């Protein structure tokens, strides 16, 4: 029993790694630009289909990941320049606009790839598992890869935001957009680049998820919902909230699903998040601003 519980905890780390990758882009876009991107799930789906296309051409997932980042980042640029840039100061319109963009993306992807899902294979390097105990279950290599990739993405993001001149401008826009503009920072360019970066991270999430769930038109919805839950629990505007919220949700769902079942596990985690919001209205690491 203890062995199984320990292995479920490790699996929870793998789930948390996926949530970090899926939620990072959404959290960055929402935290800086203030856009509730309802097309986030569709961006994840596009990344998954990029991975499926690369796999069908004999390419590796290690090629699909950077390619998915580039393709979805360009898609984010098109959406931001074509729609979002005109309605940044109108939250309701951004919500409705990105929802409509998501529907358009789904229709286009159905026209290109059809409605049937596409399987994506793991590279041979990630086959097998780590034998922690003599008897199964063992910890798969791809779960280790999820955790390592999540750590790498957060490390790169932390470096960009807190160790570069661009990151200084991003934090200035996040804290006081009007003052940042008065100091000569091109806030529109910052919004555009952040939207591209966040969209690209969603593409990476899709490429990583595809070998687990297969690439389907509706695959991004559940991960988009989980990403919103991570942001609400961890707090908007602080990168520490992303791994914290992902860890709590990933471990909670995995351990409760092991104890009960998947549906009850998700229900109990959602209930715990509602209670946590009552205690931390802005999330665990949310900024407390003076009025």
pLDDT digits (tens, 9 = 90+) for 143-169: 889 899 999 999 999 999 999 999 999
> Above 80 in pLDDT, residue 87?
yes
Structure tokens at 161: 């935001």
Q: Are 195 and 76 in contact (CB under 8 A)?
A: yes
Tell whether the model's pLDDT for residue 291 goes beyond 50. Answer: no
Q: Please state, for a pLDDT cut of 70, what percent of the chain lies above it.
A: 96
Q: What is the pLDDT of residue 290?
A: 43
- What residues have CB less than 8 Å from 182, skipping those under 6 apart? none
Query: DSSP for 95-126?
Result: HHHHHHHHHHHHHHHHHHH-SS-B--PPPGGG
Token pair listed for 7:
């292995």
Q: Is the pLDDT of residue 200 over 90?
A: yes
φ and ψ at residue 277, rounded to 5 degrees:
-65, -35
Mean pLDDT of 129-145: 78
- Mean pLDDT of all residues in 77-94: 87
Q: Element (H or E) spanning 79, and its range?
A: helix 61-82
What percent of the chain shows pLDDT beyond 90?
38
pLDDT band for position 1 (cuts 50, 70, 90): low
Cα-flanking dihedrals φ and ψ of residue 139, to 5°? -95, 115
Report the predicted TM-score, pTM, of the whole model to 2 decimal places: 0.90
Q: What b/e sequence results for 219-246 when a residue is b if at least 16 CB atoms lie within 10 Å of its CB, and e otherwise? A: bbeebbebbbbbbbbbbbbbbebbbbbb
pLDDT for 287 equals 59
Residue 272 host element (H or E):
helix 262-279
Residues 77-99: what's their mean pLDDT?
88
Taking residues 186-198, report their average pLDDT.
92
**DSSP H helices in 114-219:** 141-163, 165-175, 177-182, 187-213
Instruction: For residues 127 and 117, give the distance between their C-alpha atoms in angstroms, rounded to a whole number.
Output: 22
Residue 191 gets the label, from left (phi > 0), alpha (psi -120 to 50) or beta, of alpha
Q: Are 211 and 61 in contact (CB under 8 A)?
A: yes
What helix, strand, coil percent values describe the chain, rounded to 5?
75, 0, 25
Q: Which residues contact 196 (CB under 8 A, 6 or more apart)?
A: 73, 74, 76, 77, 80
Please, which pLDDT band fits residue 260 given cuts at 50, 70 and 90? confident
Check pLDDT > 90 for residue 127.
no
Nearest C-alpha neighbor of 202 from the set 18, 9, 32, 36: 18
Cα 81 from Cα 84, distance rounded (Å) = 6
Distance CA 217, CA 14 (A): 24
Under the banding of pLDDT at 50, 70 and 90, the label for residue 89 is confident
Kindly list the distances between the CA atom of residue 184 and the CA atoms of 169, 178, 191, in Å, as whole numbers in the listed order.
Answer: 10, 10, 15
Q: Which residue has the higher pLDDT, 182 or 261?
A: 182
Q: What is the pLDDT of residues 208-230, one digit of tens each?
A: 999 888 899 988 888 888 888 99
Residue 20 has pLDDT above 70, yes or no: yes
pLDDT of residue 266: 86
Cα–Cα dist 10/13, whole Å: 5
pLDDT band of 30, cuts 50, 70, 90: confident
Q: Domains in the chain, please, with CATH?
A: 2-120+137-279 (1.10.3470)
């Amino acid at each position: 029993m203890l062995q199984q519980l320990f292995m479920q905890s490790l699996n929870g780390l793998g789930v948390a790694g996926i949530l970090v990758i899926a939620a990072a882009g959404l959290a960055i876009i929402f935290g800086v630009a203030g856009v509730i991107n309802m097309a986030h799930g569709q961006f994840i789906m596009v990344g998954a289909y990029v991975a499926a296309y690369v796999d069908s051409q004999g390419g590796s997932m290690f090629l699909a990941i950077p390619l998915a980042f580039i393709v979805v980042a360009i898609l984010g640029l098109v959406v931001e320049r074509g729609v979002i840039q005109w309605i940044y100061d109108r939250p309701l319109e951004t919500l409705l606009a990105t929802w409509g963009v998501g529907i358009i993306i789904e229709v286009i992807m159905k026209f290109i790839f059809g409605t049937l899902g596409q399987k994506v294979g793991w590279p041979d390097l990630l086959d097998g598992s780590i034998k922690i105990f003599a008897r199964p279950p063992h910890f798969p290599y791809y779960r280790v890869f999820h955790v390592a990739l999540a750590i790498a993405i957060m490390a790169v993001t932390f470096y960009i935001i807190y160790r570069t001149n661009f990151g200084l401008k991003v934090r200035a826009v996040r804290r006081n957009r009007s003052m940042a503009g008065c100091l000569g920072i091109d806030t529109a360019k910052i919004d555009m680049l952040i939207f591209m970066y966040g969209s690209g991270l969603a593409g990476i999430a899709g490429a990583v998820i595809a070998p687990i769930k297969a690439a389907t038109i509706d695959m991004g919805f559940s991960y988009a919902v989980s990403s919103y839950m991570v942001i609400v629990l961890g707090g908007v505007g602080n990168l520490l909230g992303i791994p914290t919220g992902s860890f709590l949700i990933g471990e909670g769902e995995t351990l409760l699903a092991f104890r009960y079942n998947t549906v009850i596990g998700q229900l109990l985690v959602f209930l715990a998040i509602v209670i946590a919001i009552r205690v931390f209205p802005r999330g665990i690491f949310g900024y407390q601003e003076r009025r």
